[in-house]
């Protein structure tokens, strides 16, 4: 971690994209490093400590997935991937390789900042060993294995709790169907998405204030689920993101 401002490494071969990302991040009190190729990115990530990596998938010299995999082999730094739409399989692959989140191009700065904030907060929580995750009215105490809604303790079945636990450990970030199925049901059921659907339905009945329009356990179509982060909905302005981004200092 840096002394004053968090350091973001931006990896994209398009100079215009790097330019607006730099402006956006600097407005939010980040120190920005840039890389135009995968090789440069790996070198930059090893040379100086970074708090966050934003990486485009279409790099000229190597597959973005390879860069993610290489960096993940020694570092747990939050990685957010920039990808195009209609590449769900690619997104799933990257998330499973260790990317924290993805943003679909073209995107607005506020949307990216919201994701950045979530990723940084998760990193901070992992570092501090904070055992509780709070999302709106819902509190998940990972050490006591207790879930409360508006202060009232919820009765969850073991599998429901396990599902919520896995999501809470990645609170704010996407967890893919395969990851969830593997964690909760074991490796033999990674294709059985209907298990997941039925349990998510049950879980939503218990934890969502309005189960038919879920705001806590959110679906990422074709990819997986995420547990929303308090105040992290996409309408949140850049200023809110800046406050959060400042926290890991």
Partner 1 sequence: MPNALRFDRIRKELRGIFLTLCLVGLATALIELIVQQLGLTRGTVIYLIPVVIAATRWGLVSALVAAVCGVMAAAFFFFPPYYNFHIRDPQEVINLILFVFVAFVVSQLATRLKRQLELSRQREIDMRDLYAFSRRLAVAFDVSDIHAAIEDHLASVMQRKVVLFAGVREASASSGRRAGITVPEPVLAEVAEAASGHRDSTTGVTVIADNGDVWLVRAVSPRNLEFGVIAINFGRESPERTEELRLRVQAVLADATATLERLGVAHAISEARMRSQTDELREALIGSVSHELRTPLASILGAATVLSAAPALKNEKKLKALANDVRDEAERLNNDIQNLLDASRISSGGIKPRTEWAEPADIIDSAIERCRRRLSDRRLVLEVAADLPLVHGDPVLMQQALVQVLDNAVKYSAPGTQITVTARAPEGRLIVSVSDQGSGLTQAERGQIWERFARGARHAATTSGSGLGLWIANAFIAANGGTINAVSAGPDLGSTVTIELPVTQPAVPQMESDTDE
Which residues in this chain contact partner 1 in the complex, by CB under 8 A? Answer: 14, 16-17, 19-21, 23-24, 27, 84-86, 88-89, 105-110, 157-160, 177, 185, 192-195, 197-198, 200-201, 212-214, 219, 221-222, 237-239
Is 6 or 161 the residue whose CB approaches partner 1 more closely?
161
Q: How far is the CB of 88 from partner 1 (least distance, A)?
A: 6
| Helix 64-72 and helix 88-97, axial crossing angle in degrees, nearest 10 | 20
Q: How far is the CB of 64 from partner 1 (least distance, A)?
A: 15
Is 16 or 128 the residue whose CB approaches partner 1 more closely?
16
Q: How far is the CB of 70 from partner 1 (least distance, A)?
A: 25
Neighbouring-strand partners of residue 11: 35, 55
Q: How far is the CB of 116 from partner 1 (least distance, A)?
A: 14
Is 198 or 243 the residue whose CB approaches partner 1 more closely?
198
Is 123 or 224 the residue whose CB approaches partner 1 more closely?
224
Is 17 or 142 the residue whose CB approaches partner 1 more closely?
17
Is 125 or 189 the residue whose CB approaches partner 1 more closely?
189
- In order, the DSSP letters of the chain are --SSS-EEEEE-S-HHHHHHHHHHHHHTT-EEEEESSHHHHHHHHHHS--SEEEEES--SSS-HHHHHHHHHTT----EEEEE-SS-HHHHHHHHHHT--EEEESS--HHHHHHHHHHHHHHHHHHHHT--EEEETTEEEETTTTEEEETTEEP---HHHHHHHHHHHHTTTSEEEHHHHHHHHH-GGGTT-HHHHHHHHHHHHHHH-SSTTS-SSEEEETTTEEEEPPTT-STT--HHHHHHHHHTT-
Chain-centroid distance of CA 206 in Å reads 24
Q: How far is the CB of 129 from partner 1 (least distance, A)?
A: 29
Q: How far is the CB of 127 from partner 1 (least distance, A)?
A: 29
Q: How far is the CB of 53 from partner 1 (least distance, A)?
A: 17
CA–CA distance, 34 with 10 (Å, rounded to integer): 5
Is 44 or 87 the residue whose CB approaches partner 1 more closely?
87
């Amino acid at each position: 971690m840096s002394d004053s401002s968090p350091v973001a490494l931006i990896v994209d071969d398009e100079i215009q994209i790097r330019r607006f990302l730099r402006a956006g991040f600097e407005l939010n009190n980040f120190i920005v490093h840039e890389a135009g190729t995968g090789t440069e990115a790996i070198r930059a990530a090893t040379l100086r400590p970074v708090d966050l990596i934003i990486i485009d998938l279409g790099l000229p010299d190597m597959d973005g997935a390879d860069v993610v995999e290489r960096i993940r082999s020694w570092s747990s730094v939050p990685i957010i991937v920039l990808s195009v739409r209609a590449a769900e399989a690619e997104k799933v692959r990257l998330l499973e390789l260790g990317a924290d989140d993805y943003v679909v191009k073209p995107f607005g700065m506020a949307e990216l900042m919201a994701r950045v904030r979530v990723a940084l907060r998760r990193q901070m929580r992992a570092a501090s060993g904070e055992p509780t995750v709070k999302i709106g009215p819902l509190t998940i105490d990972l050490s006591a294995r207790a879930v409360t809604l508006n202060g009232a303790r919820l009765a969850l079945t073991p599998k429901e709790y396990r599902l919520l636990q896995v999501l809470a450990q990645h609170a704010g970030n996407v967890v893919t169907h395969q990851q969830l199925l593997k964690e909760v049901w074991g490796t033999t059921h990674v294709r059985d998405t209907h298990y997941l659907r039925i349990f998510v339905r049950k879980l939503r009945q218990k934890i969502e204030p309005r189960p038919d329009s879920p705001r806590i356990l959110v679906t990422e179509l074709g990819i997986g689920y995420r547990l929303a982060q308090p105040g992290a909905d996409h309408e949140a302005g850049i200023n809110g993101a800046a406050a959060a981004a400042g926290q890991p200092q």
